[in-house]
Amino acid sequence: MNIVDIELAKENMAGQFNTTLSIVVPVYNEQEVLPLFHHELSTELARLPNEQVEIIYVNDGSTDNSWQIMQTLSTQTAHIECLNLSRNFGKEAALTAGLDHACGECVVILDADLQDPPCLLPQMLAAWRQGADVVNMKRGIRHDESKIKLFCASTYYWLLDHLSDVPIERDVGDFRLLSRRMVDHIKQLPERNRYMKGIMSWPGFKQTTITFDRPGRAAGETKWSFLELVRLGLSGITAFSVRPLKMASWLGGAISLVAFFYGLWVMFKTLVFGEAVAGYPTIVLIQLFLGGIQLLTIGILGEYVGRVFIESKKRPIYLLMDVESSAQAIPSEMQQHG
Ligand code: UDP
Ligand code: MG
């Protein structure tokens, strides 16, 4: 079955069930928590009998039994679609795959570890029905997160606030509701460097925010190391701002100006007081300072050039290996999206 057939099959499915709500769940090595998550989600969905819901689990190349668990779930519950990516492409790619396959009138993104409580779904749907295109779920109290992580997060959001050309709401993760037209616009954004928090903010439209207390993980471990968070943070800044590049020019200009006046002062001292030019330490200090600034700006330039290089290759954002659907079986086949 090729991609066109799959899209047609999905359109038929959408027609049959007239899905109002798609729930997209990225999953990477979540075997400890997945059955519990599914149970909690199903319990909450049972309280919404009037909604036609589809659940889209995206297995992001898990090395544990997450995919087998998903397959079992899809045989037990109706309206589940399980996507199996060909390897670990990262959460941003997994979300992209989920959004590409969602056919609901609105889409909610939920983490599999129950840190995004499914009991908030009715509130989110109510906000959507009142006209919101995006319901941002802002983290109020964050349980189970170290003071250092909270400090780094707040510094990062401050930086992003000041650098980004697009307003990206503070303390809002990927837990959001998106209307159909938002999802359709997001699907048009072709970039490979996918910082989803930025991508989901970029189209704008009517946004509303609900604050919630974020619980700790129900089970398992976080999948992000400190270095990966720094990489994600950098990718957010470089994807949504060119200000660091401009800062390099401003810094260069400012240092040249200071150097000019300092040169005048040295000349004046030498001519009027006959004082010798300050010696070795000053020269070494200035050289080190300028060397540091130059390397820093080359590094900033490198970050952007590297990303241009990756974009220019136009590789697919993710590769799909299998699709399992409880409503309609779609055979395993390697397909490509991008
Ligand atoms: N995740 C993913 N691919 C990855 C890393 C994480 O799909 O490469 C999923 C993970 O299974 C979870 C969600 O993204 O459902 C959030 O991950 P995690 O809880 O580790 O992040 P944190 O809450 O610590 O920021
Ligand atoms: Mg988590």
| 289-325 confidence digits (pLDDT tens) | 888 788 888 888 888 998 899 889 989 999 999 988 8
Measured in angstroms, how far is the CA atom of residue 220 from the centroid of ligand 2? 9
Q: What pLDDT, on a 0 to 100 scale, did the predictor assign at position 14?
A: 47
* Domain ranges, ordered by start, for the chain: 10-240+320-334, 243-313
Q: What is the CATH number of domain 10-240+320-334?
A: 3.90.550.10
Binding-site residues, ligand 1, Cβ < 6 A = 26-28, 30, 60, 88, 90-91, 94, 111-113, 115, 222-224
Measured in angstroms, how far is the CA atom of residue 197 from the centroid of ligand 1? 14
**Range ranked top by mean pLDDT from 75-79, 149-153, 238-242, 320-324:** 320-324
28 and 85 Cβ atoms separated by less than 8 Å: no
User: Which residue, 22, 64, 33, 29, is CA-closest to 219?
Assistant: 33
Q: What pLDDT, on a 0 to 100 scale, did the predictor assign at position 182?
A: 93
**Range ranked top by mean pLDDT from 2-11, 32-41, 222-231:** 32-41
Measured in angstroms, how far is the CA atom of residue 3 from the centroid of ligand 1? 27
Closest approach atom of ligand 1 to CA 223: 20
Confidence of residue 265 (pLDDT cuts 50, 70, 90): confident
Ligand closest to CA 70: 1
Measured in angstroms, how far is the CA atom of residue 323 from the centroid of ligand 2? 25
Is residue 338 predicted with pLDDT exceeding 70?
no
Q: What pLDDT, on a 0 to 100 scale, did the predictor assign at position 329?
A: 39
Where is 335: in which H helix or E strand?
strand 335-337
Residue from 23, 28, 57, 109 to probe ligand 1 pocket by mutation (most atoms less than 8 Å from CB): 28
The residue whose CA is least distant from atom 3 of ligand 1 is: 91
| Average pLDDT, rounded, for the chain | 84
Query: How much is the average pLDDT of 193-207?
Result: 89
Is residue 229 predicted with pLDDT exceeding 70?
yes
Residue 150 to residue 219: CA distance in whole angstroms: 20
Measured in angstroms, how far is the CA atom of residue 313 from the centroid of ligand 1? 27
Higher pLDDT, 327 or 43: 43
Distances (CA, A) of 118 to 90, 128, 199: 23, 16, 23
Q: What pLDDT, on a 0 to 100 scale, did the predictor assign at position 327?
A: 55
Is residue 133 predicted with pLDDT exceeding 60?
yes
Least confident of 93-107, 247-261, 266-280: 266-280
91 and 60 Cβ atoms separated by less than 8 Å: yes
Count of beta carbons in the 10 Å neighbourhood of residue 145: 15
What percent of the chain has a predicted confidence (pLDDT) above 70?
90
Query: How much is the average pLDDT of 231-248?
Result: 83
For tokens 């802002």, name the residue.
138
Least confident of 19-28, 126-135, 226-235: 226-235
Closest approach atom of ligand 1 to CA 27: 11
